[in-house]
Structure 1
């Protein structure tokens, strides 16, 4: 469990997810990239859950819960944007929501005690 609760592993998985998402949005037929991205979602959720459980030791469960919720919303909006794109429907609203929720999760992640404190 300690390996999964690594902040560096979690950051690596979501950086890969953002890159894959941008590649999938730019491609005409992103089926393979989309499937790889779905596998990465599972890794993000597994490492995020492990960090959430580890974060309960810091006594800030509500903030870690809000960050977990923001992360799940990022994944949901990514998936919705890609599915809408594949169906040929407008998807720009979901792309905007991806980045809104992403920056909320990023802010909370850097603000909380287990994160890198850029905001001090």
Structure 2
């Protein structure tokens, strides 16, 4: 297995685990303080592995990779907003919707750019 594939697999693994932890923490509500801290660690790992992939691939199509990076950061931001607002008993519906939209765009770009997979076709 080449370094490139292992780095991509590491990035995919971190965001899949982070989404699972996020969903569990969101279902737990206010009792998820420790889980929320673990999720924040995964945010950092996602940004590090994603940044490494970004700098490796950006020469091919810098604007699209920059957009994917931006939407990835927005996904992380919406995850954090949902959990923080949920703990403060504030409405989270808009942030759930934005999370879903940004996640879809990020995954669409993420699969399309290096692998040329178009899951809408």
The two structures share one fold, judged by TM-score above 0.5: yes
Would you tell me which structure has more helix in proportion to its own residues?
Answer: 2
Distance 1:94 1:64, change over 3 A: same
- Structure 2 stretches of 5 or more lacking a match? none
- What does 1:18-97 correspond to in 2, within 5 Å? 18-28=19-29, 29-57=31-59, 59-97=60-98
Q: CA RMSD in A?
A: 1.9
C-alpha contact 1:24 1:34 (8 A) present in aligned 2: yes
TM-fit CA distance, 1:6: 1.1
Q: Which residue of 1 aligns with 2:15?
A: 14
Answer yes or no: is 1:117 the counterpart of 2:121.
no
TM-fit CA distance, 1:92: 1.6
Distance 2:82 2:12 in 1: 22
Secondary structure of the residue that 1:27 maps to in structure 2? helix
C-alpha contact 1:7 1:51 (8 A) present in aligned 2: yes
TM-score (norm 2): 0.89
TM-score (norm 1): 0.90
